């Protein structure tokens, strides 16, 4: 039988290794979404069509990730998609910022791209972005292309 001190050392090491493994999973393998909770502010935008945009999709400005989509719902009055997203607190954006939905690469995930305007006033929590550009839906673009091709041949 092992001595008591050795036993305790072994168990202590085991628990420590287990906790380190958990810490490794938490820090290195995953991310706690850094934009949710207290350290961000939420604004929203209406889009005619959001394509394949999903909750937790990135919000980028000039290619820099500054927030993420927190909620997607349908506006019952205008029948447009209402997308709410949380931005990191340190970024102050002008009130006439415009939002567009782009795709990273040809088949990549969709994200919201913000384009700053020139107004002096800044967006506050709860504001709605007025200028928005819908997602490009591949089927629609193909349809328009084929239609214009057919019209051109006449």
Partner 1 sequence: MNGFLSAISGLGRKVISSIERMGRGQIFLFHTIMSTGVIFKEFSLLVKQMHSVGVLSIQIIAVSGLTVGMVLSLQGYNTLVDFGAEQSLGQMVALSLVREMGPVLTALLFAGRAGSALTAEIGLMKVTEQLPAMEIMAVDPYRKIIAPRFYAGLISMPLLAAIFSAIGVLGGYLVGVELLGVDSGAFWSQMQSKVGFYEDIVNGVIKSIVFGLVVTWIAVYEGHDAAPTTEGVSRATTRTVVNSAFAVLGLDFILTALMFGGA
Residues that bind partner 1 (CB under 8 A): 2, 4, 7-8, 10-11, 13-15, 17-22, 24-26, 28-33, 56
Residue 35: CB minimum distance to partner 1, A = 12
Running DSSP on this structure, what letter comes out for residue 123? Answer: P
Q: How far is CA 111 from CA 10, 18, 53, 123, 150, in A?
A: 49, 37, 7, 20, 33
Residues 85, 68: contact at Cβ < 8 Å? yes
Nearer to partner 1, 27 or 128 (CB): 27
**Of 31 and 90, which CB lies nearer to partner 1 in the complex structure?**
31
User: Nearer to partner 1 by C-beta: 32 or 150?
Assistant: 32
Tokens of 53: 């945009």
| Residue closer to partner 1, measured from CB, 9 or 128 | 9
User: In terms of Cα–Cα distance, which of 39, 94, 31 is closest to 61?
Assistant: 94
Nearest distance, CB of residue 98 and partner 1, angstroms: 25
To partner 1, the closest distance from the beta carbon of 122 in angstroms equals: 28
CB of 91 to partner 1, least distance (A): 19
Q: Is 115 exposed, middle or buried (0-12, 13-18, 19+ CB in 10 A)?
A: middle
């Amino acid at each position: 039988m092992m001595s008591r001190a050795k036993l305790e050392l072994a168990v202590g090491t085991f628990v420590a290794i287990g906790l380190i493994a958990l810490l490794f999973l938490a820090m290195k393998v995953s991310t706690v979404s850094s934009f949710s909770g207290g350290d961000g502010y939420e604004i929203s935008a209406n889009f005619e069509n959001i394509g394949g945009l999903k909750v937790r999709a990135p919000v980028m400005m000039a290619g820099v990730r500054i927030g993420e989509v927190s909620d997607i719902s349908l506006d019952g009055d205008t029948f447009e998609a209402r997308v709410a997203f949380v931005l990191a607190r340190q970024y102050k954006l002008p009130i006439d910022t415009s939002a567009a939905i782009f795709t990273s690469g040809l088949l990549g995930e969709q994200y919201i791209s913000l384009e700053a305007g020139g107004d002096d006033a800044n967006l506050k929590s709860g504001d709605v972005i007025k200028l928005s550009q819908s997602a490009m839906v591949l089927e629609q673009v193909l349809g328009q292309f084929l239609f214009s091709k057919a019209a051109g041949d006449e």
